[in-house]
Amino acid sequence: MNITQIIFWILSVVALFSALMVITARNPVYSVLWLIATFFSISGHYILLNAQFLAIVNIIVYAGAIMVLFLFVIMLMNLNKESEPRKHRLLKLAGAVSGGSLLLVLVAALRDTDLKHEHALVNEGNIGLIQNLGKELFSTYTVPFEISSVLFLSAMVGAVVIGKKE
């Protein structure tokens, strides 16, 4: 085992463990904090693949901004163990069925992929570096990039309009 493999296994264990803790933690605040830990270990994986920009943007956007908003909402709603409503049994069944079907779809999609001959480029390849990523985004993928930016703008305008309503 070389050092990359050791780091990979540590990161994977941390990612899986904290992802499990997200769904098993009783207190939603702890769930959010575990989710942040998950994002960190995934960022670690990105760094192993030399995708530094993706790694840091994952931390800035998800761990630094979106999770803060999650925490805001949860803290303001004051969700505690005691006040958590008991869910109806039918609702639990529906949740299990929909989650199971998602798993089925994922397994079906991954079943035919050829994993044996695909090797992840670890510690090499510079497509993930910010310079190459920028060039790709503004040359090959200009149209999708601009469309998604318009999408974000409309979401922002929508948020302002809703926020202004008395």
Partner 1 sequence: MYLLALDWWLILEKCLLVAVVVALSFFIAMYTTYAERKVAAWLQDRRGPNRAGPFGIFQPLADGGKLFFKEEIIPLASSRFLFILGPSMAMLTALLTSAVIPWSTPMHLFGRNISMQIADINIGILYVFGVVSLGVYGILVGGWASNNKFSLLAAIRGASQMISYELAMGLALIAVLMMTGSLQMSVIVQNQVQHGWHIIYQPLGFVIFFVCALAECNRTPFDMAECENELNFGYHQEYSSMKLGFYLFAEYINMFISSAVMVTLFFGAYDIPFVNEASWGLNANWLAIIGFIVFLAKTFFFLFVFIWIRWTIPRFRYDQLMNLGWKKLIPLALANMIVTAVVMLLLKK
Which residues here bind partner 1, judged by CB under 8 A? 2-3, 6, 27, 29-30, 33, 36, 52-53, 56-57, 59-60, 63-65, 68, 71-72, 75-76, 129-130
- Closest to partner 1 by CB, 103 vs 127, is 127
Which residue type, as a one-letter code, is found at position 44? G
- Closest to partner 1 by CB, 15 vs 36, is 36
- Closest to partner 1 by CB, 103 vs 137, is 137
Distance in Å, CB of 2 to partner 1, minimum: 6
Helix runs in the chain, H state only:
3-24, 28-48, 52-57, 67-77, 89-111, 130-139, 142-164
Contacts 24+ apart (CB under 8 A), 85-89: none
Distance in Å, CB of 41 to partner 1, minimum: 15
For the CA atoms of 113, 130, 46, 39, the dihedral, rounded to the nearest 10 degrees, stands at -120
- Closest to partner 1 by CB, 110 vs 161, is 161
